[in-house]
Amino acid sequence: MTVPFIISVSRESLLAVPREQREAALALGATRWETTWQIVVPYAKLGILGSIFLGLARALGETMAVTMVIGNDPKAHVSLLASGYSIAAVIANEFAEAGGRLHPSALVELGLVLFGLTIVINGLARLMIVATTSKGSKRS
Amino acid sequence: MSRLLIWRKLVNGVMLSLTGVCTVLTVAALFAILGLLIYNGGKSLSWSFFTQLPAPPGELGGGLANAIVGSVQIVGAAALIGIPIGFFAGVYLSEYEDKMFASVVRYVADLLNGVPSIVVGILAWALVVKPMGGFSGLAGSAALSVMLIPIVTRQTEQFLREVPLSLREAALALGANKWKMIATVVVPAGSKGVLTGMILGVARISGESAPLLFTALSNQFWGGLTEPTASLPVMIYKLATSPYDDWNRQAWAGGLVLIGLVLIANVSARLVLARGVSVPRG
């Protein structure tokens, strides 16, 4: 589910790389792959990293698809192959039935933690992407 | 040819084909989803699926009529709330731009777009469900509209920006004031793109289940905007995780209907955009 995000955002960053950079590399005799890997990708590096961060934040907040397959085990396991639980899954499973004052509050707190995590990651990612795309448009 | 050149050409070929393979894998994921849904859900699709209420466990038959209608209600109300706000915010960002402020708003809209949907659900729960004293379809709409606003804002802004400066200048030169210029020249010129953005946004929120879990909740019977309402995504989740085989089959069929609706919306949006760009370039 993170793949479409990474694709569309890193594509934008790669498109922001000025044409002259590619042409210069090709004119110097680089193959297409060398142009891509040594010129285009480093130029758009920050934006691509940003797109990966965006994907990461998206994955952190993904609820339903994870809830259905993660196993919903409240114990922490080291192994990735054992059942587990994610913040979003806990909220999804317990919120509708949470009674009293403490339980909903605890779940809202979990929501705050999740919100804080994704805001920080997304904030960094967006800054990186803006830096890359504006760098490209200024020079071209 | 020197050995180095051969090596470089080899690396070139191998890596370029590797990128090709990854592309194919990505596309294959969509077709795998579609294929699985059609294979498993196609059998359970019938007329009664669209017209009947869910059957109790153990009984055969039944349908998801209430979930389909509920989804339309919730998403429709969310669109009524979210599209105007998002549209005008987009117009503001594109036309009345105060550079510093606009870039901050743009940044915040992007952040809002990245907020996990379940957290948006908590927001709607705190702002709508708690004060109103119960779960309701309207609370679900509120949650979905919060997700819709940043999408529509950014799309509107992006497409209005593409309207050429010369059109704006022509309107202003004819004596139109700024609002008249926006309403009669800029928005009509960018309307196709803006419309596409709205359709894509609505398609995106109509598949969301997490924000509806504890706002609209679900319902085995007909709901409404003032009471708990069933929606397709939540219903699919409930049916798919239930222990009854018959319900699981219904979930597959529900998934097929949902993805069908979303795909139709997406494809029609692309068609609207593709059929002649309304913006003259240059």
pLDDT (tens digit per residue) in A55-94: 999 888 888 888 888 888 888 888 888 888 888 889 988 8
Please list every residue in chain A whose beta carbon sits closer than 8 Å to the beta carbon of residue B209. Answer: 63-64
Please list every residue in chain B whose beta carbon sits closer than 8 Å to the beta carbon of residue A107. Answer: 122
Of A115-119, B92-96, B97-101, the one with minimum mean pLDDT is B97-101
C-beta of residue B52 within 8 angstroms of C-beta of residue B65: yes
User: Which residue intervals of A3-81 are DSSP H helices?
Assistant: 3-15, 19-27, 32-34, 41-43, 45-61, 64-70
C-beta of residue B120 within 8 angstroms of C-beta of residue B109: no
DSSP B84-147: HHHHHHHHHHHHS--HHHHHHHHHHHHHHHHS-HHHHHHHHIIIIIHHHTS--HHHHHHHHHHH
> What's the confidence (pLDDT) of residue B280?
45
This model of the complex carries an ipTM of: 0.84
Residue B54 per-residue DSSP state: P
Please list every residue in chain B whose beta carbon sits closer than 8 Å to the beta carbon of residue A64. Answer: 209-210, 233, 237
Q: How far apart are CA A134 and CA A127, in angstroms?
A: 11
Residue B151 token pair: 């999408």
Q: How far apart are CA B68 and CA B229, in angstroms?
A: 10
Query: What number is the average pLDDT over the span A103-124?
Result: 93
B115/A115 touch (CB, cutoff 8 Å), yes or no: yes
- pLDDT(B79) > 90: yes
- pLDDT(B109) > 80: yes
Confidence of residue B268 (pLDDT cuts 50, 70, 90): confident
- To the nearest whole percent, how much of chain B has pLDDT over 70? 96
- pLDDT(A137) > 80: no
Confidence of residue A120 (pLDDT cuts 50, 70, 90): very high
- pLDDT(B171) > 80: yes
A95/B8 touch (CB, cutoff 8 Å), yes or no: no
What residue has token string 């894509």?
B200
Confidence of residue B281 (pLDDT cuts 50, 70, 90): very low
- pLDDT(A138) > 70: no
**Number of other CB atoms surrounding residue B118 within 10 Å:** 31
> What's the confidence (pLDDT) of residue B146?
94
Please list every residue in chain A whose beta carbon sits closer than 8 Å to the beta carbon of residue B11. Answer: 31, 33-34
C-beta of residue B50 within 8 angstroms of C-beta of residue B63: yes
> What's the confidence (pLDDT) of residue B147?
94
Q: Which of B167, B145, B166, B154 is nearest to B193 (CA)?
A: B154
Report yes or no: B7 at the A interface, CB cutoff 8 Å: no
A35 HSE (CA, 13 A, CB side): 18
A58/B114 touch (CB, cutoff 8 Å), yes or no: yes
- To the nearest whole percent, how much of chain A has pLDDT over 90? 35
Q: Angle at the Cα of B121 (from B270 to A106), degrees rounded to 5?
A: 150
- pLDDT(A112) > 90: yes
What's the whole-model pTM score? 0.87
> What's the confidence (pLDDT) of residue B282?
38
> Which residue of chain B comes nearest to A98, CA vs CA?
B214
C-beta of residue A58 within 8 angstroms of C-beta of residue A5: yes
B125/A58 touch (CB, cutoff 8 Å), yes or no: no
Q: Which of A53, A51, A42 is nearest to A136 (CA)?
A: A42
Superfamily of the domain at B66-274: MetI-like (1.10.3720.10)
Residue A2 token pair: 């993170």
Q: How far apart are CA A74 and CA A85, in angstroms?
A: 6
pLDDT, tens digit (0-9, with 9 covering 90-100), for B130-141: 888 888 899 999
What residue has token string 């990651």?
A121
Is residue B4 packed enough to be buried (19+ CB in 10 Å), middle (13-18) or exposed (0-12)? exposed
Residues 101-130 (B) with a CB less than 8 A from some CB of A: 107, 110-111, 114-119, 121-122, 125-126
Of A21-25, A41-45, A98-102, B276-280, the one with minimum mean pLDDT is B276-280
Residue in B118, B217, B240 closest to A88 by CB: B118
Confidence of residue A28 (pLDDT cuts 50, 70, 90): very high
Query: What number is the average pLDDT over the span A19-47?
Result: 91
- pLDDT(A140) > 80: no
Highest mean pLDDT among A58-67, A126-135, B120-129, B218-227: B120-129
Query: What number is the average pLDDT over the span B255-273?
Result: 88
- pLDDT(B271) > 80: yes
Q: How far apart are CA B48 and CA B215, in angstroms?
A: 28
Q: At what angle do helices A45-61 and A3-15 cross, to 10 degrees?
A: 160
The full set of domain ranges for chain B reads 66-274
Q: Which of B126, B149, B129 is nearest to B139 (CA)?
A: B129
Q: How far apart are CA B248 and CA B254, in angstroms?
A: 10
> What's the confidence (pLDDT) of residue B205?
93
Report how far apart, in Å, the C-alpha atoms of A74 and of each of A66, A77, B117 are: 14, 9, 22
> What's the confidence (pLDDT) of residue B149?
95
Residue B31 per-residue DSSP state: H
Confidence of residue A136 (pLDDT cuts 50, 70, 90): low
